[in-house]
Amino acid sequence: MADPEAERVPVPLVEPINLFDFELLAEQQMAHNEFDYVAGGATDELTLRRTRSAYEHLALRPRVLAGNAAADLSTTVLGQRIEVPFMLAPSGGHKRAHPDAELATARAAAHMGTVMGLTANSSVPIEDVAAETDGPKWFQTYFYRDRELTLEMVKRAEQAGFKAIILTLDAHWPSKRERNIRNKYKRGARANYTPAQEAQAAANSKSMFDSGQSSRGLNDPAASWADIEWLKTATDLPIVCKGIMTGEDASLCAENGVDGLIVSNHGARNLDTTLSTIEVLPEVAAAAGERVEVYLDGGIRRGTDVVKAIALGAKGVFFGRPIFWGLSYGGSDGLIKLMEILRDEVESTMMLTGRGSIEAIDASLVTPMPALA
């Protein structure tokens, strides 16, 4: 009699049921160099690989008979209610995944009732994304060498109705992304810069490591905490600092009146051999205390990841790479499907651990995973 297992033929992956499936489909759909740009990390990609392991080495401690008939996934960020505890991280050039680019992303975020982070390096102008939906949006920019450009970006975001400014602080120098170097990657046009600004960026970018990072030529490596105070005088919008990886910098965020911070290592794309963001989150959250809202970005792939991050001190989480996977699968509808899967996994995790609300998730829910003998 034939062995049934020997006759089994693998079923082609068509309908994704988790975020990893979306990633596999995106690799088949996107141009190779564009997929590598999104997927890759810095140098040996040690931190990139470490990140999944860090989540997997946190164990959940479920409670029973908690009396929850349902789970409420809503929370607030900077005083704004969102329907799920995850948000879309600012990430450049969504057109590499779908022609509708950031317009599709905005529609998906609004559908899910959550925040879209729009980067200055977007494929679509600030104003067009703002006009696409009335969902909550935060705008990400940098301290440029030309402070007038920083001010211009912030004012455009204000006038377009964005609700907060995200300042990326860890992109002041080109990083070595070896996938991009091997692919001889050239970044496409960005909608929010003039040709003169693009030319200046290219002129300032002399490193062999630039590999599609010409925007780094505009960013100011000499920026300091004093620039936070300057920006606070220039805008009334809340300021969120992205790229915080230590308790020391979390304390400085609080001392300088920052409203929020994002624990982020730029998706492990800038500096290799750092800890993962979930590993440094407790330190950062403890230093920030009640003075600054803390969010986490990096490696979110499962609903359990979201819940673990909240347990360790995050108010909510951001994700970046999965945006491209969802868009590649089907534009706004594809990204909505991806987020619905993540939402359902968060809900299941909450119910099965006895947490009926985001507020009920605390540090008692997680513990280090003991090593097996």
Backbone angle region of 201, left / alpha / beta, with phi > 0 → left and psi within -120 to 50 → alpha:
alpha
Q: What is the pLDDT of residues 75-86, one digit of tens each?
A: 999 999 999 999
* pLDDT, position 67: 97
Q: Which of 86, 156, 147, 148 is nearest to 120 (CA)?
A: 156
Residue type, 314: A
Would 4 be classed as within a structural domain? no
- Continuous segment of H or E residues that includes residue 244: strand 239-244
Q: How many domains does the chain have?
A: 1
- Continuous segment of H or E residues that includes residue 327: helix 321-352
* pLDDT, position 215: 54
For tokens 């300032």, the residue is 204
Residue 1's pLDDT band, with cuts at 50, 70 and 90, is very low
Q: Which residues are catalytic?
A: 266
What's the mean pLDDT in 247-259? Answer: 98
* pLDDT, position 191: 84
Would 372 be classed as within a structural domain? no
Instruction: Report d(CA 191, CA 215) in Å as an integer.
Output: 12
Residue 88 neighbours by CB distance under 10 Å: 27
Find residue 116's DSSP bridge partners: 88, 137
* pLDDT, position 204: 67
Residue 259's pLDDT band, with cuts at 50, 70 and 90, is very high
* pLDDT, position 118: 98
In total, the chain counts a number of residues equal to 373
Judge whether 154 and 234 are in contact, CB under 8 Å.
Answer: yes
Would 2 be classed as within a structural domain? no
What's the mean pLDDT in 226-241? Answer: 97
Lowest mean pLDDT, pick from 8-12, 89-93, 303-307, 340-344? 8-12
* pLDDT, position 201: 73
Would 1 be classed as within a structural domain? no
Pairing state between β 137-141 and 116-119: parallel
CATH (domain of 266): 3.20.20.70
Q: What is the pTM of this model?
A: 0.93
* pLDDT, position 80: 97
pLDDT at position 282 over 50: yes
* pLDDT, position 350: 98
Would 183 be classed as within a structural domain? yes
Lowest mean pLDDT, pick from 107-121, 190-204, 301-315, 349-363? 190-204
Within 184-320, where are the H helices?
195-204, 226-234, 247-255, 277-288, 303-311
What's the mean pLDDT in 286-299? Answer: 97
* pLDDT, position 97: 97
Q: What is the pLDDT of residues 157-169, one digit of tens each?
A: 999 999 999 999 9
* pLDDT, position 83: 98
Judge whether 344 and 306 are in contact, CB under 8 Å.
Answer: no
Residue 367's pLDDT band, with cuts at 50, 70 and 90, is very high
* pLDDT, position 206: 59
What's the mean pLDDT in 119-126? Answer: 96
What's the mean pLDDT in 235-254? Answer: 98
Q: What is the pLDDT of residues 317-336, one digit of tens each?
A: 999 999 999 999 999 999 99
pLDDT at position 115 over 60: yes
Residue 209's pLDDT band, with cuts at 50, 70 and 90, is low
Q: Average pLDDT over the chain, rounded to whole?
A: 93
Domain, as residue range, for 320: 14-367
pLDDT at position 272 over 80: yes
